[in-house]
Structure 1
Amino acid sequence: MGCNSSEKPADSTFSKDNIANKPSIDTLANDEILTTIATEVLIAVKAKDYKAFAAYFHPTDSVLFSPYGFIDVKTCRKLTKAAFLKLVEERNLVNWGSYDGSGEPIRLTTQQYLEKFVYNADYLNAEKKAFNQVIGKGNSLNNLAEIYPHHPFMEYHFTGFDEKYGGMDWTSLRLVFKQYQSNYYLVAIIHDQWTT
């Protein structure tokens, strides 16, 4: 269960002290600012306006795409704005990591990946939203605080869609940001769901 990339992994230097002292998250970021930016990101993805979506990519960093809540920094696909737009245009199959459970490679076009592992539910109208707080919790590890200890994020969450699954069909999307010249840009897009 992971991702794939030949680019450098996410900023993975952290200490347990940083995680314990949670106030180290960028204190300039606030709920209102990030809610506005994240809403604009979701509008672009929902509309499949990939150029508008890519405009929110961090200008000097790559955006990490994680299909599951556990971010595997060794295998996660990281894309710059230019690399992302090239993949959208080429429409080739890309290895985004491995499916949870089977371990089979996630080989999808960029558009297919975005539909399955980014905007797989109507997150603009999410049942729950949170700023710097993880809502979706399942049976797999969530290492967001370890990989991005100082980065503000927004989470969009649905508790489930079909009663017969008893909440095991929940889904979340986490948009992680980093400040650059007084604006906030995406550095990670993390999809999460119940895993086996």
Structure 2
Amino acid sequence: MVAVCGAVPSMVRSVRLYSQCSHLYVSVSANGSVTARSIGNDQPNLTMSTRGRSLELLLHSPAQDMFLCFRGPKLVGRRMTRTQAEKSPNCLFREEFVDGYNQYHLARNENRYIGFNPRGLQLRRPRARLPERWRKCLSFMKEAHDFDINRHNNKLAGEGWARPRLRLPPKPCHPLRHHRHPRRRNCDGA
């Protein structure tokens, strides 16, 4: 990608965040509260976008048109423009990969993580004060809404990458005749 006049395009991806602890999806309600609950699997519930070349992420709920931000210890949805969200340090997150899962923490405070308990409610304690048994509640799986697991498995199994077979020409319905016979007939007898 080429930047024009110093502007850097951002990457936007629609995803569903699946909590390892509660086995539910992260979603934002109309009043701005953020919980983990079961939602339809046909729609993504969050949009992740990068902020320029930095590794900072903005988490946006397109259904409610809200950005996820921390207000004190609580994660909330706030209505604001993208430029306002980019300037707010409480709305910028970083992504970490721990034991095969994604963890999201506040960019300016590495001790403030997004996490949900088994009932789907937010964990409001900082990571340093979180008991060891609750550490898995900070982990998420990121699922793209257009991801097809069957197509992916077929490619890994080699079915999608198999070499195409050579097609042989169809066999004639009658043996080839010598070129001296001026009158030829097709397979139908005409």
Normalising TM by the smaller chain, what interval?
under 0.3
Instruction: From the two aligned structures, give the one with the greater strand fraction.
Output: 2
Work out which structure has the larger RCO, using CA pairs closer than 8 Å and 6 or more positions apart in sequence. Answer: 1
Instruction: From the two aligned structures, give the one with the greater helix fraction.
Output: 1
Give the structure-2-normalised TM-score. 0.28
Give the structure-1-normalised TM-score. 0.27
- Give 1 or 2 for the bigger CA radius of gyration: 2
